[in-house]
Each structure stands twice: as structure tokens, then as C-alpha cells.
Chains A and B, each alone.
Chain A
Amino acid sequence: MDLKLREDDLEFQREVREFMDRHWPEDVRSARRNVGRFEETKGEAPDVRRFIDALNERGWAVPNWPKEWGGTDWSPTQKYIWDKETARAECPQLSAFGARMLAPVLYTWGTPAQKQRFLPLIREQKMIWCQGYSEPGAGSDLAGLATRAVRDGDEFVVNGTKIWTTGAHVADWMFCLVRTSTEGKKQEGISFLLIDMTTPGIKVNPIHLLGGIHSVNEVELANVRVPVANLVGEENKGWTYAKGLLTHERTGIAGVARSEVMLERIKEIARETGVDGGSLWDDADFRLKVHALEIDLEALAMTELRVLSQVEQGGAPGPESSILKIRGTELSQALQTLQIDVFGYYGLAYPDQTLIDNEGPVGHPYGLTAMQAMLYGRASTIFGGSNEIQKNIISKAVLGL
């Protein structure tokens, strides 16, 4: 047992760092750090585009994919290093819905034509995806979804409403769970469809989240006609594919590397923040709060490493993998909250983007992004199966209750 990285892993780490320093250098990082994010807009900043292109050129755009589709054959340790280094560099990520959520379903269960058509575009971030899972009546009880897809010749006719659809207003396509049968168990009548967002009958209504952020939407589907060729896998097996997707990307879900970066930033800001003639960092009570979270974070990081090492040895992730989502989101929320504390009164300022663009930020340059992170971060314990649902899963699958 040891924690040391092997020489070839260290070499890999150096390579990744060099790449990041070259294609996402420090001046870009710090400029981005204090840019608020009120609205996701179509199209992307030129610096992000250049970075995504550089990733593709290097063959590093989608490390977790199979090699034949442009992925890598990195070891779990290398993937771990990659996660750490990308968090450290605060670089842009490929849109997760395409690259991390849909792609594994496609390369596992998609038809050759689907793979050929979609995977390269996702890899190059030339096609943006959103995920049509939740519905007004199907949140934690996702299998209760009611959006109907009825076969009509070579097409499905889809009717229903999806909600909390992140990025639907900028997405080109949506992967969607729809009900194709009402017989038997509710999980057994669900299919996995790919829907072009320009199809007639689709209406996207924005939902403004806490903090004025527009990232999620309601998507109404009225007689939307989807070619049968856009069905993934078998009809009525969609639930299996969606569940299979959950076992991908288990690590990384804990967000350890990002939380580590945030923790370091909190320390840094606390050292710069004046209190009673000294700095906030001189306040022993404050430091204890930070250190308590730091210990939680180290425990989580080690839990993630334990899971990685099981995978590296060809085993399935053990029961400890199931706690990564719960603890990871709890911890990032705790850090986001602490980060607000650090700013004191200036944590309260919330000027909109136009004001910032014209006159610069009010208070600390990171103040606004910290508040946005905290507000938006509340969603992390709700989406992807709320933490309460995760506990139900552990209770059943691990404890046998």
C-alpha cells in the first residue's frame, strides 16, 4: 500500500500541466474567475472554442470514451490526475450532457449509424445536448414519467412536458426518456429517444433560478415527430440504459478536485480579508471551520482513490463508491456557504452582468461568482437523484434493508 504516484504517472502529470499552461494560461484563468454567469448563451467565447479545439487535436477531449471513438486508454490513475489538473487549471469542460451522459449510452447501445452521426460532433462540441428526463409529475420518482411516444409508421409522435431541462434553450438535440408502453411495471415501458430541438412542436420556456440564473427550462412537446431511427437500443428498455449511465462516471461525481481548489481559494481570500486589524485567517474559530472541512475533503478524496484503485485492478467499485455523490455535494455546498461568509457585507452585493461589464465588480472580484456558486450549488443535492434518494439506494443495495 502506498500513495506515491509512479514515475510514468508523474510524467503524465507534467504533460497535462504543460498543456494547460499553454492552452488555458493563468491570465485567462484569472480573467474568467470574476465573470458572472447569469445566462447560458448560444455559441461560445473564442477562447473556449480554441481550448476545445486544442483538446481535440491532442486527443484529450473525451478521455473516458473508448479509443475507437476518440477516447484514451488511460489508467484510472491517469484519469484521476486529469481530473485534478483540469480542476486546478479551472479550464472549460465539454458540455457534460453530450460527452459524459449521452455518449456512454450511444457507444454502448447505439446503432452504428447513431454512433457515426453523433459521437464525433459531441467530441468536437459542435452539437450541444440537453437531457429530457424529469417531468412536472416525475422528479425523484423518475420512472413515473408520462411523456408519451406513440408509433406512427416510421415515426414516434411525442407528447408531454419535460422540466428542469438544463440548457434546452441552447441545445441542438435532446436525449429523452419517453413512455412507449403503459403495461407491466412502470420501468418497463420507457424508451430512450434522440430528438432534434428544431423539430416542429417543441416549445422551450425559460425557468429563472435563484440568483436570476437562466440555465434550466420547461420543454413542451406537442405532436413532435421523431424518426424511429432515433430510438436508442430496444423499445421499452430505456430505463436500463438510463440506469447503466449512472454507473459510468462514478468518480469525478464527488467533485473533489474542484472542492480542493475552492478550499485553497477560501484560505487565500481569508488571508487578504482584514478583521480587527489582522486578517480573517488570524481568527482561530474561522480556521477551525476551514480545517474541519479540509479533513472531510481529504476523507472524500481518499474514498475516491479507493474506488479508483478497485477499478484499476479490474474490479467493480465497492460500496464506498455510493457515498461519493452524497458527501461530495454536501461538502461543496458547505464550502460554497463558507465562501460567502468570507466576504462579509460584500457577500450581499448582487449586481447584474450589465453593471459589472460597465463598471466592474462591487466588492471582492470573486464575490459575485461565489454567491452564484452558492445559489446554484443548492441544486447539486437535488439533481441526479436527490441525496435522500441516494440514501434509499445505499440502504437497499449496500445495507440490504
Chain B
Amino acid sequence: MDFSLSDEQSLLKDSVERFVQNDYDFDKRRKAMAEEDGFSRKNWQQFAELGWLAIPFSEEDGGFGGGAIELMLVMEQIGRGLIVEPYLPTVVLAGGFLRRAGSAAQKEQYLAGIIDGSKLSAFAFAEPQGRFNLADLTTTAQAKGDSYVLNGHKAVVLGGPSADFMVVSARTSGEQRDADGISLFLVEASAKGLSRRDYPTVDGLRASEVMLENVEVGKDALIGEEGKAAPLIEEVIDDAILAVGCEAVGAMEVLYKATVEYSKQRVQFGQPIGKFQVLQHRMVDMFMEYEQSKSLMFMAAMRLDESYNGAARKAISGFKVQVGKSGRFVGQQAVQLHGGMGMTEELSVGHYFKRLTMIDTLFGNVDFHLKRYGSFD
């Protein structure tokens, strides 16, 4: 049993922490979001230079061979800085598929670009009718000679607008909700027949509805084995849940501390509002929610690093339930205790609250993961 970080892990943590502290204040973030892509390409290049885009990939693939703990360290800081650059869709999701199941040629074509920062990506998995069920797919991929032809509608594709290529889940056989018969394809964003409707999400990030109309891809675009992608998708999504959960933990830390600071300065009835016991106890509750979430974050990351088994999946769902509940509480109370100012776009508080609200839904909300947690009992 060991909760300490290795030297390399400490260095990594410091590096991201320093960037968030020195190069990513709220104004800089706002400027990045105002750029055409909704984030800063310059920052992305800096991430590449700092090596963050290479973290989860094996050394043969040109990466650092980082695991769940490394992912946790990066994502927690990304959450503290409310970083908008598309680390999740590109490195965690698309990168997660390529490193686990990509062929040598696929890795050469796509992974190298992710690591050097030249390629952005997204994972098109959700569908309008599917809610959180990863296997509920009406998008089809039909084999035709040396190619597959894709048709369907993928919903709320995070990072879709800036993706150079996408990983798309589609049904090659089976019924609409069968786990069997799901396949994954690498699709260029510029492919003929692929169209997007881009829009912002509530947290200021960008997403797309992606329509696939007779999009033809080569057989070499298939990731892994045909029809057998369901377990792989679950595994990569569990990585993504760890990632956004860690983000939430970082965001909660900022929020509870900002609220405590604000309550020391804001004077009403002749004294700082932090002197009122009813508010003190509320802030203690916020602090406890943060700490409990952090505890399950460690557990989820450590279980994932041990082995991707039932215990790890259960820990991931437990963590998601916790950050869903805690994130909602901490976010809502931070707004409440900031009073009218908490309602404004001007303060960062509301932006953290929005991201936490978004994370609660991402990859399955509290209700969904509570049921999934129980399914491992």
C-alpha cells in the first residue's frame, strides 16, 4: 500500500501545475476560447513539446508508457485550470483506441500525429436514441469489396469540430443493442459523405452532430477485429471516466477554496460572511465532498493500474457516482455562497460549475453508474 508518487510522476505533476499557474489564468483561457477553434493551437503545440501528448503511449510507439496514475495527475491539473484544449478526445479517447488495438500502419499514420501535436481527433460513439448505452447503435458499416460503407448519425461528438480524423463506432452485424457486432473505424474528417453540425457545449467546449452518408473507408480503417469492439470501447470509456472524474476533482478543489477565500472578504451585516456558522458548515461540507471524491479518484486510478478487471470497472463507476454527486453539490454551493456574483459570466466560479455539470452527464450520470456499480456485486 503506497500513496506516494515516483520522481517521474512528481515531475509530471509539477510541470502541468506550473503551466496552469503561470500560463493559464482565467483571462488567457478566455482568449484561447475566443480563437477560431475555441482553444489555442499554440497551447496545444506547447503540450506536445512538454511531452504531455505522449504520456499514455508505449515507448515503442514514441510515448512515455504512463498509466492511470499519470493520466490522473494530468487531468486533475487540467480540471484546476479548466483547460479547454482537446486532451480528452484526442489523447485519451482516440489515442486510447490506437494504442490498444491500432495496427502498425494505423499507429504510424495517426498516433505519431497525436504525439507531435499535428493531429486532433474525436470519438463518435453516442447516438440520439442511445443515451448512455454504448452498444445501442443504429449506425451501420457494411462490407463492400475492399471497403466498408458507413451510414448513421453520431451525436454530441466532443471535439468534433477540430478533429482531423475520428474514431467511429458502427454496427457490422447484430441487432440494435447487441454487444456483439460492433466495430470501430478510423474516418478522416474530410471523408466524402461525412457532414457536421458544430455547436458549443454548456462548458464552452465544442461538439458536433456527425452525419455519415455512404462514407466509404478502406478495410484498413477497421480498428481491431470486426464485430468485437464492445469490450474495447468499454475499456477506453472507463479511461475517459477516470479522466473527467479527475478533472472534476481538480475543479472542486478550486471551487471550495475560492469560496472560502471569498467568504473571508465579502462583508455583510458588518462582518465577513465566513464568520456565519451556517456558511462555515456548508463550506466544511464542500471540503468533505472534495476529499471523498479525491479518495475514490486514487482508488479508481490504482485499481485501473493493477488490472482492467471487474474490481477496476466497479471502482470507476463508484468514482463517477461520487464526482457526479459531489461535483453537483460543490458547484451549486459555490455559486450560492458567491451570491449574485456567482451567477455572472465574469467570475470563474460559474465556469467551473458548468464544467462540473457537464462532467456529471459525460459517459453516464450518477443513476447510470450507480446501476453499473451494482452490476459488479
Determine if B280 and A5 form an interchain contact, defined as CB atoms under 8 angstroms apart.
no
Task: Give the nearest-CB partner of A295 in chain B.
Answer: B318
Binds B, one of A203-211, A243-251, A392-400: A392-400
Chain B residues near A1: list those with CB within 8 A.
Answer: 2-5, 9, 69, 298, 301-302, 305
Determine if B374 and A287 form an interchain contact, defined as CB atoms under 8 angstroms apart.
yes
- Judge if B90 is at the interface, Cβ distance under 8 Å: no
Determine if A401 and B292 form an interchain contact, defined as CB atoms under 8 angstroms apart.
no
Interchain CA distance A309-B291 in the complex, whole Å: 15
- Judge if A47 is at the interface, Cβ distance under 8 Å: no
Chain A residues near B280: list those with CB within 8 A.
Answer: 391-392, 395, 399, 401
Determine if B321 and A302 form an interchain contact, defined as CB atoms under 8 angstroms apart.
no
Contact with A along B54-78 (1 / 0, CB 8 A): 0000000000000001000000000
Interchain CA distance A323-B284 in the complex, whole Å: 9
Determine if A327 and B288 form an interchain contact, defined as CB atoms under 8 angstroms apart.
yes
Does more than half of chain A's interface fall in helix, strand or loop, or is it mixed?
helix
Shortest C-beta distance, A110 to chain B (Å), equals 34
Determine if A292 and B321 form an interchain contact, defined as CB atoms under 8 angstroms apart.
yes
Determine if A305 and B260 form an interchain contact, defined as CB atoms under 8 angstroms apart.
no
Shortest C-beta distance, A338 to chain B (Å), equals 15
Across the interface, A298 reaches (CB within 8 A) one of B274, B318, B370, namely: B318
Determine if B321 and A401 form an interchain contact, defined as CB atoms under 8 angstroms apart.
no
* Given contacts A292-B370, A323-B288, A298 and B296 within 8 Å (CB-CB): yes
List which A255-301 residues lie within 8 A (CB) of chain B.
Answer: 267, 284, 287-288, 291-292, 294-296, 298-300
Determine if A305 and B283 form an interchain contact, defined as CB atoms under 8 angstroms apart.
no
Determine if A320 and B291 form an interchain contact, defined as CB atoms under 8 angstroms apart.
yes
Shortest C-beta distance, B245 to chain A (Å), equals 12
- Judge if A198 is at the interface, Cβ distance under 8 Å: no
Interchain CA distance A298-B377 in the complex, whole Å: 14
Candidate in A1, A300, A306, A323 with the most chain B CB atoms within 10 angstroms = A1
- Judge if B293 is at the interface, Cβ distance under 8 Å: yes
Shortest C-beta distance, B279 to chain A (Å), equals 8
- Judge if A58 is at the interface, Cβ distance under 8 Å: no
Shortest C-beta distance, B32 to chain A (Å), equals 32
Shortest C-beta distance, A269 to chain B (Å), equals 15
List which B276-300 residues lie within 8 A (CB) of chain A.
Answer: 277, 280-281, 283-285, 287-288, 291-296, 298-299
Shortest C-beta distance, A86 to chain B (Å), equals 18
* Given contacts A288-B371, A400-B260, A305 and B3 within 8 Å (CB-CB): yes
Task: Give the nearest-CB partner of B369 in chain A.
Answer: A295
Determine if B292 and A300 form an interchain contact, defined as CB atoms under 8 angstroms apart.
yes
- Judge if B131 is at the interface, Cβ distance under 8 Å: no
* Given contacts A291-B370, A291-B374, A313-B4, A399 and B298 within 8 Å (CB-CB): no
Across the interface, B302 reaches (CB within 8 A) one of A2, A9, A292, A296, namely: A2
Determine if B2 and A303 form an interchain contact, defined as CB atoms under 8 angstroms apart.
no
Shortest C-beta distance, A326 to chain B (Å), equals 7
- Judge if A185 is at the interface, Cβ distance under 8 Å: no
- Judge if A77 is at the interface, Cβ distance under 8 Å: yes
Determine if A401 and B260 form an interchain contact, defined as CB atoms under 8 angstroms apart.
yes
Shortest C-beta distance, B118 to chain A (Å), equals 32
Determine if B293 and A299 form an interchain contact, defined as CB atoms under 8 angstroms apart.
yes
Determine if A399 and B260 form an interchain contact, defined as CB atoms under 8 angstroms apart.
yes
Interchain CA distance A267-B374 in the complex, whole Å: 12
Candidate in A291, A292, A326 with the most chain B CB atoms within 10 angstroms = A291
Determine if B1 and A4 form an interchain contact, defined as CB atoms under 8 angstroms apart.
yes
Chain B residues near A302: list those with CB within 8 A.
Answer: 295-296, 298-299
Chain B residues near A295: list those with CB within 8 A.
Answer: 296, 318, 321-322, 370, 373
Interchain CA distance A394-B290 in the complex, whole Å: 14
Task: Give the nearest-CB partner of B293 in chain A.
Answer: A299
Determine if B284 and A394 form an interchain contact, defined as CB atoms under 8 angstroms apart.
yes
List which A16-57 residues lie within 8 A (CB) of chain B.
Answer: none
Determine if A288 and B283 form an interchain contact, defined as CB atoms under 8 angstroms apart.
no
List which B293-317 residues lie within 8 A (CB) of chain A.
Answer: 293-296, 298-299, 301-303, 305-306, 315
* Given contacts A391-B280, A395-B283, A395-B284, A401 and B1 within 8 Å (CB-CB): no
Chain B residues near A284: list those with CB within 8 A.
Answer: 371
Interchain CA distance A400-B257 in the complex, whole Å: 11
Determine if A2 and B2 form an interchain contact, defined as CB atoms under 8 angstroms apart.
yes
Interchain CA distance A284-B370 in the complex, whole Å: 11
List which A106-159 residues lie within 8 A (CB) of chain B.
Answer: none
Interchain CA distance A398-B291 in the complex, whole Å: 12
Across the interface, A309 reaches (CB within 8 A) one of B1, B274, B296, namely: B1
Determine if A299 and B322 form an interchain contact, defined as CB atoms under 8 angstroms apart.
yes
- Judge if A355 is at the interface, Cβ distance under 8 Å: no
Chain B residues near A287: list those with CB within 8 A.
Answer: 374, 377
Determine if A391 and B281 form an interchain contact, defined as CB atoms under 8 angstroms apart.
yes
- Judge if B263 is at the interface, Cβ distance under 8 Å: yes
Interchain CA distance A35-B21 in the complex, whole Å: 60
Determine if B373 and A291 form an interchain contact, defined as CB atoms under 8 angstroms apart.
yes
- Judge if B219 is at the interface, Cβ distance under 8 Å: no
Shortest C-beta distance, A153 to chain B (Å), equals 46
Task: Give the nearest-CB partner of A312 in chain B.
Answer: B1
Task: Give the nearest-CB partner of B291 in chain A.
Answer: A320
Shortest C-beta distance, A7 to chain B (Å), equals 12
Interchain CA distance A306-B297 in the complex, whole Å: 12
Task: Give the nearest-CB partner of B373 in chain A.
Answer: A291
Shortest C-beta distance, B304 to chain A (Å), equals 11
Determine if A2 and B370 form an interchain contact, defined as CB atoms under 8 angstroms apart.
no
Interchain CA distance A136-B37 in the complex, whole Å: 68
Across the interface, B1 reaches (CB within 8 A) one of A291, A296, A300, A305, namely: A305
- Judge if B275 is at the interface, Cβ distance under 8 Å: yes
- Judge if B264 is at the interface, Cβ distance under 8 Å: yes
Interchain CA distance A320-B298 in the complex, whole Å: 14
Determine if A77 and B1 form an interchain contact, defined as CB atoms under 8 angstroms apart.
yes
Chain B residues near A319: list those with CB within 8 A.
Answer: 287, 291
List which B189-216 residues lie within 8 A (CB) of chain A.
Answer: none
Contact with B along A294-338 (1 / 0, CB 8 A): 111011101101101110010000011001001100000000000
The 8 closest A-B pairs by CB, nearest first: A302-B295, A395-B280, A299-B292, A309-B3, A303-B295, A291-B374, A391-B284, A320-B291
Chain A residues proximal to chain B, CB less than 8 Å: 1-6, 9, 77, 267, 284, 287-288, 291-292, 294-296, 298-300, 302-303, 305-306, 308-310, 313, 319-320, 323, 326-327, 388, 391-392, 394-395, 398-401
Chain B residues proximal to chain A, CB less than 8 Å: 1-5, 9, 69, 260, 263-264, 274-275, 277, 280-281, 283-285, 287-288, 291-296, 298-299, 301-303, 305-306, 315, 318, 321-322, 370-371, 373-374, 377
- A sample of 18 inter-chain contacts (CB < 8 A) reads A1-B9, A3-B303, A288-B371, A292-B370, A295-B296, A296-B292, A299-B322, A302-B296, A302-B299, A305-B3, A320-B295, A326-B288, A394-B288, A395-B281, A395-B283, A398-B284, A400-B264, A401-B283
Having A306-B3, A323-B291, A395-B283, one finds 11 other A-B pairs with CB under 8 Å, namely A288-B370, A291-B370, A299-B292, A313-B4, A319-B291, A326-B288, A327-B292, A394-B287, A395-B281, A398-B287, A401-B275
